[in-house]
């Protein structure tokens, strides 16, 4: 599968720069640098700080409200990626803003405790607690609690998937889930993990260090760490799963979509050709990235609204694989 020319150039530049030791602080510095290089842009969205009172303590969140958004309306809780070691509201501000603008929905980006300072299960505990908290205060945020969804990217998408599993049947109800390059199986045994083990932004060495930092080396075969391994997927929210053709976790996303479909869950899985892990966050570095994220967000917003003007099952890419 040929790489997008701008992706190829980015990877070549990274290779020239050499590889930094993938420890937690280096991981965080790299995430911040990538966010700066990807850049920001002015969008018709208002961002405001929100504090969520979680059992683990007050957690920062950021509410993105499209200027044309009327309350109450659909809302999306967004969980950032970074291997549960890196990433924060600032590094993922551009993603949250574009999700809101293109979906025409309020997006609440939430922070959670990171490893190694807060090892597993701190992140998933915070994610579950945040969903309860947001549901309880939804109307104050301008969100219709009957149309509250969850989205995540990379490790945050893994949290989102597991969050849906853990809250199934117990509440709060989740209207839909959007998983971007989800990390769903940390056993890392699928063929794509071997095919893209190095040289494609996220490499196997970084994943191993993240696993060690989180203290989950002995738990990768459990559903709470690897949601793909959850034995029962019935009754989960409708899903939109987006993978990149040149991503170690590509095959896991496809496998999860297949299992969801077999369990009767409405799901559309799109594999974006020429793209790598975190393509949606590469901004000005990859000109195709922002339009792709806008298209992804618009489709998800239409799903939440039941908008007939943009069918939720509409094709999103020529090389899309769809399961429903």
pLDDT of residue 19: 65
Report the pLDDT value the prediction gives residue 43, as an integer from 0 to 100. 97
- Say what angle helices 122-136 and 155-167 make with each other, to 10 degrees: 60
Give the pLDDT of residue 100.
Answer: 99
Which one of 247, 251, 252, 299 is the catalytic residue?
247
pLDDT at 71: 80
Q: Choose among 117, 74, 68, 109: nearest CA to 92.
A: 109
Fold of 5-305: Rossmann fold (3.40.50)
Annotated active-site residue in 111, 242, 277, 299: 277
Active site residue 277: yes
DSSP string for residues in 255-278: HHHHHHHHTT--EEEEEEEEEETT
Clarify whether 154 is annotated catalytic.
Answer: yes
How many angstroms separate the Cα of 166 from the Cα of each of 47, 138, 160, 290, 303? Answer: 29, 20, 10, 32, 22
Which entry of 154, 192, 226, 270 is annotated as an active-site residue? Answer: 154
- Neighbouring residues of 16: CB distance < 8 A, sequence distance ≥ 6: none
Stretches where the chain sits below pLDDT 70 are 1, 19-22, 308-324
Q: What is the pLDDT of residues 113-162, one digit of tens each?
A: 999 999 999 999 999 999 999 999 999 999 999 999 999 999 999 999 99
Does the annotation count 270 as an active-site position?
Answer: no
């Amino acid at each position: 599968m040929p790489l997008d020319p701008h992706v190829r150039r980015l990877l070549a530049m990274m290779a020239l720069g050499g590889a930094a030791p993938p420890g937690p602080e280096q991981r965080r510095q790299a995430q911040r640098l990538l966010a700066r290089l990807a850049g920001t842009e002015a969008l018709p969205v208002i961002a405001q700080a929100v504090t969520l009172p979680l059992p683990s303590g007050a957690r920062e969140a950021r509410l993105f409200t499209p200027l044309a958004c009327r309350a109450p309306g659909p809302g999306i809780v967004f969980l950032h990626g970074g291997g549960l070691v890196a990433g924060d509201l600032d590094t993922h501000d551009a993603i949250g803003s574009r999700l809101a603008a293109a979906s025409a929905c309020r997006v609440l980006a939430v922070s959670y405790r990171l490893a190694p300072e807060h090892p597993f299960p701190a992140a998933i505990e915070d994610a579950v607690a945040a969903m309860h908290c947001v549901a309880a205060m939804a109307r104050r945020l301008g969100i219709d609690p009957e149309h509250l969804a969850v989205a995540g990217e990379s490790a945050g998408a893994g949290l989102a998937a597991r969050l849906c599993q853990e809250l199934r049947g117990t509440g709060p109800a989740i209207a839909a889930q959007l998983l971007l390059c989800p990390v769903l199986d940390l056993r890392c045994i699928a063929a794509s993990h071997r095919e893209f083990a190095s040289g494609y932004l996220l490499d196997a060495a970084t994943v191993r260090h993240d696993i060690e930092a989180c203290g989950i080396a002995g738990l990768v075969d459990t559903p709470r760490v690897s949601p793909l391994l959850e034995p029962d997927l019935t009754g989960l929210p409708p899903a939109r799963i987006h993978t990149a053709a040149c991503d170690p976790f590509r095959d896991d996303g496809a496998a999860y979509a297949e299992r969801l479909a077999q369990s009767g869950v409405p799901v559309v899985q799109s594999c974006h050709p020429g793209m790598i892990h975190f393509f949606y966050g590469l901004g000005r570095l990859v000109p195709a990235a922002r339009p792709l994220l806008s298209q992804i967000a618009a489709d998800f917003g239409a799903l939440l609204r039941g908008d007939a003007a943009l069918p939720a099952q509409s094709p999103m890419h020529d090389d899309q694989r769809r399961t429903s």
